[in-house]
Structure formats: structure tokens, C-alpha cells
Structure 1
Amino acid sequence: MTLPPPLATTDLDLGPKYQGKVRDTYDLGDGRLVLVTTDRISAFDHVLRQAIPLKGQVLNRLAAHWFERTGDVAPNHVLSVPDPNVTVGVKCEALPIEFVVRGYLAGHAWRVYRGGGRELCGEALPDGLRESERLPAPILTPATKAEEGHDEDIRRADIVARGLLDQETLDEAAALALALFQRGTEIATERGLLLVDTKYEFGRAPDGRLHVIDEVHTPDSSRYYYAEGYEERLSAGEPQRQLSKEFVREWLMDHGFQGRSGEALPDLPPSFVEEVSARYVELYETVTGESFEPDLSPEPEARIRYALEALS
């Protein structure tokens, strides 16, 4: 498949724009937001210079899939999905905390554990665990949402003590996060996958309820292992087959970059860009069980403008 040009950024005449790491968000001024999921990719809290064709379509469509599958567990912000890259949602007051749920010892948690840490965000970790091993029970490891630089782990008690959230809101969001993780685990199992860890973001909607915002169970917010061969690889101490963007982080680490001061951000070669794009499509098809039919428009922003004309 010939890849279309990447959608690295947008400039739509819709209202005030906020540019995040991946999404361009426009405030329509009437209680609605237009969220354009671009092809930008971030790692170690840095946006890479190369955008990944089709990545935005995969993320937006996969998020829509999961929002629909979890709508009975927690209300979400989705009003419509008028374009492969676009979601129109309810404007919510975002909570300043990311709710990270972990079911396995992987990624950041493993790096902390390997370094001798036996506690993460106040959650105790038993001795003797191996990388990728299933935890006794899923744990919640919240993080502050940094405007710049790295998000920081935070204990639940410190969230309240610092006035970031009141106890009632914290408890409500924590319960929703764990319930969403349980649903995600069940659905992933049906598809031959293990939901390893993920993050959820919540916002207070005008009706006063907490809504899930941003995205749910996508490769940018989640890590999956293939269930087949999991136990054998764990016993042998071999890396798990996984579907996530962790392999992008691993590529960057192999090229001397972990987001630390003084490190130079490397460019992704074209062959690796194509590989990343293919891996995102693979995750979509594996998770949903559906064939991914991309929109190959040579002018994606023009396509988006046309799809959004009815909003004005």
C-alpha cells in the first residue's frame, strides 16, 4: 500500500486552537470541541520530527471503537466521528491527573522495579517478579499531567494533599479507571491479547458527571501482549510479543535518546516510519477483528474541512 502524506498539523478556521502532542483541539464556543488526531508521534514526552502516515486515522477510529464498547461502563465525551481523523466531543473540564492502570510489570513500572523500587505511587510490589509478569491484581499508578517535560508519578494521598483533586472526585475517577481496565481486559482476551497497562483521562462535563476524554485503549495510551506464547516467553525470560508504541521507545533508546537533558532527538528513517505505520494498522485489525480501510486522500486537511462544513 502506498502511504498518503502524513497529517502533521492542521489550521482550521473553527475557533481557538490548542495543539497537544498528538491532537489539535478546536473550541467551537458552544460546549463542543473538535479533536483532530494528527499523525504526530511522541515518546519520552517529546514530539518526534517525523509524522507517521495513517497513525491518526488508526488512533481516532480505534478510540471510537473503544468508546462505543465501554460506554456502559463510563460516560464519554464523543458526540460524533465525522472524519477518520476527527472526533467532535463535549467540552469537559479536564482533571489534572492521568489514571494509569497496570496489570503486568512492564515499561516504566519494570524500570522502577529493576532499579530496586518496590513501591509505585504508594502501591506495593512484591519481591521476585519478572519482567512482563502478571501482577497479583491491577494497580492504579496516577501521574500528574505536565504542560512541558515529563509527567510525574504521584500517590493518591498526595493528589488530595496538594489540592489537585478532592477525595470524592479521586475515588470516583479511580473506580471508573479500574472498571474500564476490567472491560478492556475482557475484550482484549476475546481477541487473543493481554491488556498490559493503559492510561485514562477524565473531565467533568456540564451535567456534572465525569466523562472519559482523549482516548481509550489505543496504542498511544496502552500496551498489549499477544496471549499466545505469553507463558512460554515469560518462563524463558524472553521479550513478549507486543502491540504498542513501546518498540518506538526501544528504537529511540537504541539510538541514545530517552528524553534526558543533553540527548539529541534522532530522526526516524523512512523505512522505520513505514514499519511504525504498519504496526499501528496491525494493532487496529488485531484489536477490532476488522480490516482497516484507510482514507488515502492526498490532501487530508482539505478532506477534514469538507467533513466539518456542517458544524459551522
Structure 2
Amino acid sequence: MLTNDQLLAQIPNCLTGTAFTNLGERYEGKVRDNYTKDGKRIIVVTDRLSAFDKVITLIPFKGQVLNQMAKFWFEKTEDIIGNHVIEFPDPNVVVAKECVAMPVEMVVRGYITGVTSTSIWTHYEKGVRNFCGNELPDGLKKNQKLESPILTPSTKAEKGEHDESVSRQEILDRGVITAEEFDYMADAAMKLYARGVEIAAKQGIILVDTKYEFGKDSDGNIVLIDEIHTPDSSRFWFADEYESRLSSGEEQKKIDKEYLREWLADHGFRGEGEIPAIPDDVKVETARRYIEAYELITGEEFVAEVGDVKSRLQNNLSNYL
């Protein structure tokens, strides 16, 4: 694990974004810069961190962690469903098949938790007992394990807007995808989550909940796109402290970006108003948690690419420029 001083030293080198003019048409997401050309999508994972559907700050090595973590999981799950990956030419880059993104994300939850205004726990606390078509019993505690994992799909919001959690029927009523497409993605999502839970458990980690994005490739096949089981798309807790913390009402020990979400919430920000300035020590702690997540879950040492990310990208993407 890198020292705090090493993490601090990388802050000035964080990858804010890219502007490669020869890579193709550019689209900027919250975290990723996408370039499309000749049936390929070159995805550069930046160090931008989003929370509450807003870009908040930059976290050292975050892009590399996310991309390398996604690589690990794509390889571990390709027997369940095909994915968009062609190659990983740089620690921050994946070259993928160009796909048309499905307008629905599949969110799978094994526990009732969350701090955002749209989270399942927030709704439950307010008395909601049917969440996205799932009937929830009375008497659940925050962070409690659900009897079985549930699917809570969400619409993909425009940039700056909040995603909306919806039921299968609501999605079908809107006519954005067919029942066959929904059920195929739902089945894949539940199998992917089960695989993630199994692998994480071997490392003493709980995969709490996660989201999956799917797209159609040029042959019309639905494949897994974007990312899978990363600290941005998932919550992870430590298994050895789960029961004791649940019993005492303590928050779970986390290794995901919930740490920064909770810091923001404690400082009065939940998605509306001005984003508070993030101190360097909070950035460093967030980076440490991302790297810790990678090492704990993959069982591999994180090999950090220190220094100027942009010049390295320029070199590693030379075949595409």
C-alpha cells in the first residue's frame, strides 16, 4: 500500500480530463472520457469522483483503480455474459466495442442501506414498503441483510440529473425496452451479483449492492458495458465486523466511496447547493480506500503508475491517434 505522502504527492498529477483530437468523437461522462471511431469506443477513466450525481473532486489513482478493478471482474464473469472489452492499452484505458447503451441500469441489493435521498434505506425510513416492485417487511434495521437479493432498476438520467429507481412494470409501461430485453438483463445481473458475492466472500468482503450497465453491440447482442464491481458502482463492507456493528447500531466498516458521500453529508451537501471544498487529507483517505478495495478484493498488489498521467496516455494510445 502506498504511503499517505505518496498519495498526497500524486494529487497535482490527477487526471482531470482529456482532449485527444484524433481519437474520434468525444463524450464526457461524470468519470469517463469516451471517444468513438471505427466501431470502437476508447474509454479513458479519469480521477474525477462523482457523488450525489455531481462531479465532486479528483482522487489520486482513482481512474487506474477503477479500470484495473473492472478488468479483473470482466475476466471473472465473461462466462455469464459477454462484455464490450477489446483490450486495456493503459492502466486508465479500455478499448471496447462500440455499443448502444440500454436506457436502464440494473441495480442489485443484498442489504438495506444508503445515505442519499434516493436510497432504499431513506425510502424505507419514510415508510415505503414497496421499492421498485419489491415488497419489504416491517422491522428491518439499517444495513440488515435482505432475505434474498432484490433487483431495483433505475433509469439513466441526463448529466446533472438524478437517476430514478423504477419497477419492471414502470419500465415496460414507458416502452423503453422490451420485456425480453429486461428479463435477459435482470437474469444476468442477478448471476453477476451472485458471482461477485462469492468471490468477495473468499477475501472476507461483503458485496453489499452494485449496478450493472448493458448495451447492444453491432450484432444486436446485449453485453455488459461500463464497469463492474468497482468502488464507484458498488458498496463493500468488511465481513468480520458486520454482525457486531449491526448489533450495536454502528455504521459498517466500508471500502467504497460511501466514505466521501458521508463526509459531504456531514458537511451539509446531499446533491443540492454549493459543493464544499474537499481537504487533501480527505482526498488521500478516499484514495487509500480505493486502493485497499482493489487489493482486498482481487488479492493482487496495486501497482501504481506514479507521475504525469496525460503524457503516459499519449504514449500508450499512439496506435489509436
TM-score (norm 2): 0.94
Specify the alignment match of 2:69 in structure 1.
62
Specify the alignment match of 1:136 in structure 2.
147
2:298 matches 1:291: no
Specify the alignment match of 1:221 in structure 2.
233
Which of 20, 25, 40 is 2:29 aligned to? 20
2:117 matches 1:106: no
Aligned-pair distance for 1:275? Answer: 1.0
Specify the alignment match of 1:117 in structure 2.
128
Which of 36, 49, 54 is 1:41 aligned to? 49
**Residue-by-residue CA offset, 1:236-264 (whole Å, 9 max, x unaligned):** 2221111111111100011111013xx22
Tell me, in whole angstroms, the C-alpha distance in 1 between the residues paired with 2:266 and 2:286: 16
Equivalences for residues 1-312 of structure 1 within 5 A? 1=3, 2=6, 3-4=9-10, 5-13=13-21, 14-28=23-37, 30-48=38-56, 50-107=57-114, 108-147=119-158, 148-260=160-272, 263-297=273-307, 299-312=308-321
Aligned-pair distance for 1:311? Answer: 2.5
Structure 1 stretches of 4+ with a deviation exceeding 6 A read none
Tell me, in whole angstroms, the C-alpha distance in 1 between the residues paired with 2:52 and 2:239: 27
Tell me, in whole angstroms, the C-alpha distance in 2 between the residues paired with 1:300 and 1:226: 32
Q: After alignment, is 215-224 or 243-252 more displaced?
A: 243-252
Aligned-pair distance for 1:289? Answer: 0.9
Aligned-pair distance for 1:46? Answer: 0.7
Tell me, in whole angstroms, the C-alpha distance in 2 between the residues paired with 1:74 and 1:130: 34
**Residue-by-residue CA offset, 1:75-134 (whole Å, 9 max, x unaligned):** 111110010100000111100111100000111111111121111111111111111111
Task: For 1:302, give the aligned amino acid.
Answer: S
Task: For 1:293, give the aligned amino acid.
Answer: V
Tell me, in whole angstroms, the C-alpha distance in 2 between the residues paired with 1:131 and 1:177: 24
Tell me, in whole angstroms, the C-alpha distance in 2 between the residues paired with 1:120 and 1:247: 25
Tell me, in whole angstroms, the C-alpha distance in 1 between the residues paired with 2:256 and 2:236: 6
TM-score (norm 1): 0.96
Percent of aligned positions with the same letter in both sequences?
49
Q: CA RMSD in A?
A: 1.0
Aligned-pair distance for 1:305? Answer: 1.3
- Which runs of 5 or more structure 1 residues have no equivalent in the other structure? none
Tell me, in whole angstroms, the C-alpha distance in 1 between the residues paired with 2:318 and 2:178: 40
Aligned-pair distance for 1:149? Answer: 1.1
Aligned-pair distance for 1:207? Answer: 2.1
SS at match of 2:157: coil
Task: For 2:88, give the aligned amino acid.
Answer: V
